[in-house]
Amino acid sequence: MSKVLLVDDDVELTMLLQEYLTEEGYDVTTDTDGRAAIAAAAGNAVDIIVLDIMMPRMNGIEVLQRIRKLSQIPVLMLTARGDDIDRISGLNLGADDYVAKPCSPGELAARLRAILRRAGQSAGSASTDTLRAGQLVIHPGNRTVEWRGQPLDLTGTEFSLLEVLARSAGQLVQKQDISKRAFGKPLTPFDRRIDVHISSVRQKLGLREDGQSWIQSVRGQGYQLLVD
């Protein structure tokens, strides 16, 4: 049973989501203060955190920043519908996904399942065989990555995206294929989450000797991981 911490000051919504997720088989705790999320991340007390952006005392963006200094625990953000700035800010800081409010409990449950599956929390994970692409070594079994002989710190979503590109290293992977293989769902129009996560992975890989990124993009099509 996966442990979920739901942090939102909307008590009515929180109760509704908690009841639904409990029926779906999750062990759900709730809080109205973002500091509870920071403490949970520090103590590895839960498997995933659902975090509202608009909260008193400390907003969700600030909470996420502090969490990412402590842990790579999966975080799903709740954002105001249509607020692209908050969504992109959250993804840039390492959020695994977001759901726009008001959201249906069913949609939230589906997103949680997808994130936990990517993070290796549920059954049916990918092959445990070590994957090598140039100086990149990926261990799907424990979802760890080595880059140039050193551990590479990635979020669960970043790991999934890099694994997809590494399995087709040197080849262009269409964005639609990336979405299906990494997220388990088709890419929707104007969805920028792949681009934002790829940008973060690029920064962590650094630049090649020729000054180019290790992950090349073809505008409007997809991405390619270079291996030499």
Indicate the domain borders of the chain: 3-118, 131-225
Per-residue pLDDT tens digits for 54-72 = 888 889 999 999 999 988 8
Could you tell me the two tokens for 173? 């992977």
Query: Is it true that 3-118 and 131-225 share their CATH fold?
Result: no
Distance of CA 159 to the CA centre of its chain: 9
Q: Which residue's structure tokens are 């949970």?
A: 40
> pTM of this prediction?
0.65
Q: What is the mean pLDDT of the chain?
A: 87
Fold held by 3-118: Rossmann fold (3.40.50)
Per-residue pLDDT tens digits for 25-36 = 899 999 999 999
CATH architecture of 131-225: Orthogonal Bundle (1.10)
- What SS3 state is found at 54? coil
Instruction: Find out whether 184 and 114 touch, Cβ atoms under 8 Å.
Output: yes
Q: What pLDDT is stored for residue 156 in this prediction?
A: 82
Lowest mean pLDDT among 32-36, 91-95, 212-216: 91-95
Q: Residue 145 belongs to what H/E stretch?
A: strand 144-147
For 33: left if phi > 0, alpha if psi spans -120 to 50, otherwise beta; the answer is: beta
Could you tell me the two tokens for 63? 């909470």
